[in-house]
Amino acid sequence: MKGLYIVTPDWDDTDKLLHVTEQALQGGASLLQYRHKTADAAQRRRQAAALLALCRRYQRRFIINDFIELCMELDAGGIHVGGTDASVAEVRALIGPDEIVGASCYGDLQLAHAAYRAGASYVAFGGFYPSRVKQYPVTTPPDIVTRAKADIALPNVVIGGMTQQNALPLIAAGADMVAAISSVYLADDPTAAAREFTALFAQR
C-alpha cells in the first residue's frame, strides 16, 4: 500500500462523484474509500456499487467507511473503521482474512498498536492540519509517523488537511499513503492534483 488514498466527499450528485473519482484514478490514485455519512441506505448502495465498478475497471482497491453490511453485500475490497465504529477485531471476524481493514488512530500510538494486534491492514493518523471538510482538533504530532514506522509492522496513512506541499514532510518521515478529500475532489484539475500527490512518492 503506497501512494494517494482518495476519500469521497459527501456528494449526493452521483454523476459528479463518479466523474471526479475517475479523473483522480487516471491521475494515479491507488486506493478509494467511499465515505458518505448523510446518504440514505439506497443512495449509499447505488453510489458504492458504481464506485466499486469504476475501481475494478481501473484495477484499484475500493473500501467502504463504516458500513460493514454494505461492504459484505457488494463484496468490496474492505472497510475503514473509526473510533466510534465497530472494532477492528469484529470487522476482521466478519469479512475474513483477505480484505482490507483500516483503522483511524488519530494521534494515539496505543490505538495503532491495538489495531495491529486485532488484525488491521493499515493504521491512519491525523489530523495533522486544518481541513476544509471535517472539524477536529489539529493535535496529531508529525513524529508519530516515524514512531509508528519503527514500532508497528503495518502501512500507515496520514490524513487531515493534506495538500501536496504539507504532505511532503510526512512522506519523508515514512508515511506510506496520503489520504486526501478536498485537495483532489475540489481541485480545478483532479487528474493533475492526483498526479502531483503520486509524484511525491517517487521522490522518496
Q: How many helices (H) and strands (E) does the chain have?
A: 9, 8
Residue type, 7: V
Q: Which of these is catalytic: 134, 147, 149, 195?
A: 134
Which three cell numbers mark 199? 509524484
What is the DSSP track for 169-189? HHHHTT-SEEEESHHHHTSSS
Beta bridge partners of 153: none
Catalytic residue chosen out of the listed positions 30, 104, 121, 131: 104
Catalytic site includes residue 134: yes
Nearest to residue 176, comparing CAs of 151, 199, 149? Answer: 149
> Does 121 qualify as catalytic in the annotation?
no
Let me know if 2 is a catalytic residue: no
- State whether the Cα torsion 44-41-53-78 is positive or negative: positive
Catalytic-labelled residue, pool 35, 92, 121, 183: 35
Write out the catalytic residue numbers: 35, 104, 134
